[in-house]
């Protein structure tokens, strides 16, 4: 017999509900209420047009990533980063930070910045020059090699290679094979 209503017939679902309500402690009821409040707050935020559009965009991106296998790649990258982090010791991190500091100090100069700007401009100029003229035949390329600026550039590249080879002998072991 139901002690609250005096009803003697109860369905199995009502009995399960009553058993669950009687078995819950005050702490469980409190956690259920807090969780329900957070869930309702989340649903309320999904009613906002911008939030809903953002969630749909994120789900579309996630679907695309799944379809193209990018999620597996992302998981592998995260696993690699975690393994690298786990393998690092304090002294390795300290040496890495010192190396980065030295590189930034050595490379963060006005001369290096100017060299980078000039190099970028030269590449853009060369790309534009190549785009403006049609591809040449083998004989046209050989004719271009006879121009004085082409000969100077080839000489510069050869001198650079020789200088690099000579300077590399200061490093442990030098170059593995001499430049020819």
pLDDT reading at 4 higher than 70: no
- Digit-coded pLDDT (tens) for 90-114: 899 899 999 999 888 888 888 888 8
Per DSSP, the residues of 65-129 read HHHHTHHHHHHHHHHHHHHHHHH--HHHHHHHHHHHHHHHHHH-SHHHHHHHHHHHHHHHHHHHH
* Total count of domains within the chain: 3
pLDDT reading at 173 higher than 60: no
Tokens of 118: 């000039």
Per-residue confidence (pLDDT) for residue 61, from 0 to 100? 93
Same domain, 72 and 92: no
Same domain, 98 and 64: no
Same domain, 79 and 21: yes
Asked, for residue 4, whether it belongs to a domain, the answer is: no
Same domain, 80 and 105: no
Asked, for residue 3, whether it belongs to a domain, the answer is: no
pLDDT reading at 178 higher than 60: no
Domain residue limits at 44: 17-84
Average pLDDT of the chain, as a whole number? 83
Same domain, 80 and 25: yes
DSSP 2: -
Of residues 45 and 63, more confidently modeled: 63
Same domain, 77 and 112: no
Neighbours of 175 (CB within 10 A): 13
Same domain, 127 and 169: no
Asked, for residue 154, whether it belongs to a domain, the answer is: yes
Same domain, 96 and 72: no
Per-residue confidence (pLDDT) for residue 81, from 0 to 100? 92
pLDDT reading at 10 higher than 90: no
Asked, for residue 117, whether it belongs to a domain, the answer is: yes
Asked, for residue 174, whether it belongs to a domain, the answer is: yes
Report the share of the chain in percent with pLDDT over 70: 88
Same domain, 146 and 166: yes
Same domain, 36 and 94: no
Closest CA to 178 of 170, 153, 157, 168: 168
Same domain, 111 and 53: no
- Digit-coded pLDDT (tens) for 57-98: 999 999 999 999 999 999 999 999 999 888 988 899 899 999
Angle at 31 between CA 28 and CA 33, to 5 degrees: 110
């Amino acid at each position: 017999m139901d002690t609250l209503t005096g009803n003697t017939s109860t369905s199995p679902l009502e009995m399960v509900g009553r058993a669950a309500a009687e078995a819950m402690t005050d702490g469980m009821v409190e956690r259920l209420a807090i969780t329900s409040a957070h869930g309702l707050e989340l649903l309320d935020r999904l009613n906002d047009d911008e939030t809903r559009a953002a969630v749909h965009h994120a789900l579309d991106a996630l679907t695309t990533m799944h379809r193209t296998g990018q999620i597996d790649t992302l998981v592998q990258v995260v696993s690699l980063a975690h393994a690298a982090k786990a393998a690092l010791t304090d002294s390795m991190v300290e040496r890495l930070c010192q190396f980065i500091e030295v590189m930034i100090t050595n490379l963060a100069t006005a001369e290096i910045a100017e060299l980078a700007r000039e190099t970028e401009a030269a590449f853009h100029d060369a790309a534009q020059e190549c785009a403006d003229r049609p591809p040449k035949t083998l004989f046209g390329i050989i004719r271009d090699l006879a121009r004085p600026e082409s000969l100077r550039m080839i000489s510069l590249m050869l001198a650079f290679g020789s200088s690099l080879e000579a300077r590399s002998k200061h490093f442990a072991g030098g170059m593995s094979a001499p430049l020819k």
